[in-house]
Chains A and B, each alone.
Chain A
Amino acid sequence: SKHPDPFHTLREVEILDAKIREKLCFLDKVEPHATIAEIKNLFTKTHPQWYPARQSLRLDPKGKSLKDEDVLQKLPVGTTATLYFRDLGAQISWVTVFLTEYAGPLFIYLLFYFRVPFIYGHKYDFTSSRHTVVHLACICHSFHYVKRLLETLFVHRFSHGTMPLRNIFKNCTYYWGFAAWMAYYINHPLYTPPTYGAQQVKLALAIFVICQLGNFSIHMALRDLRPAGSKTRKIPYPTKNPFTWLFLLVSCPNYTYEVGSWIGFAIMTQCLPVALFSLVGFTQMTIWAKGKHRSYLKEFRDYPPLRMPIIPFLL
C-alpha cells in the first residue's frame, strides 16, 4: 500500500455565491491536482443552467477570476477550498460572433452594389455604376471581409472561448450599420469620384493592398507564436517577412495595418462616412492596443522599450 502522502489527500471544495455568500455547492473527494476547469464541470452537474463558460470562480468575492488551467493544490487554500462564484451571463463563442459580424458587411455591401430595389430610386434598380472606382471599392471591401472570415476560421487562436451574449448585438449593429452607411454612398447613382482621379485611386489602392498584406502577415506571425491548444503568451518579434518588421516599432502592428487599410479605402472612395468609420475604428483599436501594450509591459521585464502601442513613436 502507498505511504500516506499529505499532498495527495483528497480535498473538499465549497462554492459560494460571491454577492450573497449563499452556499451553492459542496464537492467532496476532489483530487488535489484537479483543475478549475474540472471543478467548473462538477459545478455544472448540480447547476446545469450555469455551464462552465459562464462561471467565474474566484478565491475572493471581489478578486480576479481563476483561470481554467489553475490547479487546486497550487492555490492558497486549505484542505477545504472556498471558491466564490459569479454568473457571467449567457455566453457565445468568439468564432460565432466574428463570423456573424463579418458576414453581415460582406453581404450588405453587395446589396447596395447591385442596387437591389427599394434602396435607390426605382429607375436605378439593378443598374451598374459607370465609375471604375466603385467596382474597385466593391472588390476591396469584399476582399477585406472574406479575408477576415477565413482568418477567423483558419488563422486566429483565441485565448478565450466565449464572450457575453449581448456583445453580438452591439458588434453586429456597429459593423452592419457602418457597412450599410458606407455602401449607400459609394454605390449611389449620384456618387462623385475622387477629385484627383486615377492617380488618387491608384495611390489609395496601393496603401490598401500593402496594409492588407501587412495585417495578414501579422496575424500569421501571432499564430505561429502560439502552438495549437496552448494559451502561452510570448513577445512577438519581427520575422523574415518585411511586413512584420513593424514589430520593431509597435506592439500591435495588426491594428496599425488595419487603420492603414481603411485610410486607403477612404482616400480611394473619397467618402466621408468611410473616414468616420476609420476614425471610430482607430479610436477603438488604440484603446485595445494600449491595453495589450500595458499587459506586455507588466508580463515581460525585457519588453523592447522602443515600441509604442499602435503608431510608431507617437501613440
Chain B
Amino acid sequence: MGIVPSSVVLTSFQVMSRVFLIWAVTHSVKEVQSEDSVLLFVIAWTITEIIRYSFYTFSLLNHLPYLIKWARYTLFIVLYPMGVSGELLTIYAALPFVRQAGLYSISLPNKYNFSFDYHAFLILIMISYIPIFPQLYFHMIHQRRKILSHTEEHKKFE
C-alpha cells in the first residue's frame, strides 16, 4: 500500500509462512503445542516484530533513533536462525501425529480423483527451507551493509 518501503512479495511470503506455522501446524497438531521449539520461534518472532514496527513507526514520524535502525539490521543475525530452528523443529515434531491421524490428507479412490498427503507436504516444506533461508538471510546481510554504512557516511559529513 506504499506506507512502508517493503517488498509486497517478500512480506506476503513471510506473513503466509507465519500463518502456516501457527494455524496449519501448531494449532492443528495439539500435541506439538507444549514443545520448546514453539517457544523458540514465538520469542524470535516477537522480538523481531517489536523492533520492526518501532522502526516503521519512528521512520514515519521522521525521528528514527540509530539504535532502532541498528537493532533491526543486526539482531536478525541471531533472531532469524533462532526462528527458523524453532519452526523446523516444530514441523518435525508434528510429523508422527500427522501421519497417525491422516491429518488434512485425502487418498484414492474418490470422486474428484485427487490425493494429498499432508505428511509428505510438510517434509517438502522443510526441504524448501534449504534454498529459501540462505537467500533471505543473505539479502538481509546485504541490506545491512548498504543501510548501516550509508548512515556512517552521513555521520561523517555532519
Q: Which residues of the partner chain B approach A192 to less than 8 Å between Cβ atoms? A: 109-111, 113
| CB nearest to B107 among chain A residues | A190
A188 touching B111, Cβ below 8 Å: no
B113 touching A186, Cβ below 8 Å: yes
Q: How far is the CA of A271 from the CA of B110 in the complex (A)?
A: 10
Q: Let me know if A269 is at the binding interface, CB within 8 A.
A: yes
How many residues of chain B have a CB within 8 Å of chain A? 8
Interface string of A263-283 (1 = CB under 8 A from B): 000000111110000000000
Q: Which residues of the partner chain A approach B3 to less than 8 Å between Cβ atoms? A: none
| CB nearest to B112 among chain A residues | A272
Residues A263-315 near B (CB distance < 8 A)? 269-273
Q: How far is the CA of A278 from the CA of B108 in the complex (A)?
A: 22
B114 touching A188, Cβ below 8 Å: no
The listed residue with most A CB atoms (<10 A of its CB), out of B108, B110, B113, B114, is B113
Q: Let me know if A230 is at the binding interface, CB within 8 A.
A: no
What is the CB-to-nearest-CB distance from A5 to chain B, in angstroms, rounded to a whole number? 54
Q: How far is the CA of A127 from the CA of B109 in the complex (A)?
A: 18
Helix, strand, loop or mixed for chain A's interface? loop
Total A-B Cβ pairs within 8 A:
29
Q: How far is the CA of A265 from the CA of B155 in the complex (A)?
A: 65
What is the CB-to-nearest-CB distance from B125 to chain A, in angstroms, rounded to a whole number? 17
Q: Let me know if B14 is at the binding interface, CB within 8 A.
A: no
Q: Which residues of the partner chain B approach A269 to less than 8 Å between Cβ atoms? A: 113
| CB nearest to B106 among chain A residues | A272
Q: How far is the CA of A146 from the CA of B102 in the complex (A)?
A: 40
What is the CB-to-nearest-CB distance from B131 to chain A, in angstroms, rounded to a whole number? 14
B113 touching A185, Cβ below 8 Å: yes
Q: Which residues of the partner chain A approach B105 to less than 8 Å between Cβ atoms? A: none
Residues B82-109 near A (CB distance < 8 A)? 108-109
How many residues of chain A have a CB within 8 Å of chain B? 12
Helix, strand, loop or mixed for chain B's interface? loop
| CB nearest to A275 among chain B residues | B112
Q: Which residues of the partner chain B approach A190 to less than 8 Å between Cβ atoms? A: 108-109
Q: Let me know if B115 is at the binding interface, CB within 8 A.
A: yes
Q: Which residues of the partner chain A approach B108 to less than 8 Å between Cβ atoms? A: 185, 188, 190-191
Q: Which residues of the partner chain B approach A132 to less than 8 Å between Cβ atoms? A: none
What is the CB-to-nearest-CB distance from A89 to chain B, in angstroms, rounded to a whole number? 19
B115 touching A185, Cβ below 8 Å: yes
Interface string of B24-51 (1 = CB under 8 A from A): 0000000000000000000000000000
| CB nearest to B111 among chain A residues | A192
What is the CB-to-nearest-CB distance from A192 to chain B, in angstroms, rounded to a whole number? 5
The listed residue with most B CB atoms (<10 A of its CB), out of A185, A186, A272, is A272
Q: How far is the CA of A188 from the CA of B114 in the complex (A)?
A: 10
A271 touching B109, Cβ below 8 Å: no
Interface string of A65-101 (1 = CB under 8 A from B): 0000000000000000000000000000000000000
Q: Let me know if A195 is at the binding interface, CB within 8 A.
A: yes
A191 touching B115, Cβ below 8 Å: no
| CB nearest to A185 among chain B residues | B113
Q: How far is the CA of A186 from the CA of B112 in the complex (A)?
A: 10
A273 touching B114, Cβ below 8 Å: yes
What is the CB-to-nearest-CB distance from A95 to chain B, in angstroms, rounded to a whole number? 31
B109 touching A270, Cβ below 8 Å: no
B112 touching A191, Cβ below 8 Å: no
Q: How far is the CA of A190 from the CA of B112 in the complex (A)?
A: 11
* Interface pairs (29), CB distance under 8 Å: A185-B108, A185-B113, A185-B114, A185-B115, A186-B113, A188-B108, A188-B113, A190-B108, A190-B109, A191-B108, A191-B109, A191-B113, A192-B109, A192-B110, A192-B111, A192-B113, A195-B111, A269-B113, A270-B111, A270-B112, A270-B113, A271-B112, A271-B113, A271-B114, A272-B112, A272-B113, A272-B114, A273-B113, A273-B114
Chain A interfacial positions (CB closer than 8 Å to B): 185-186, 188, 190-192, 195, 269-273
4 smallest CB-CB distances across A and B, nearest first, come from A272-B114, A190-B109, A190-B108, A271-B113
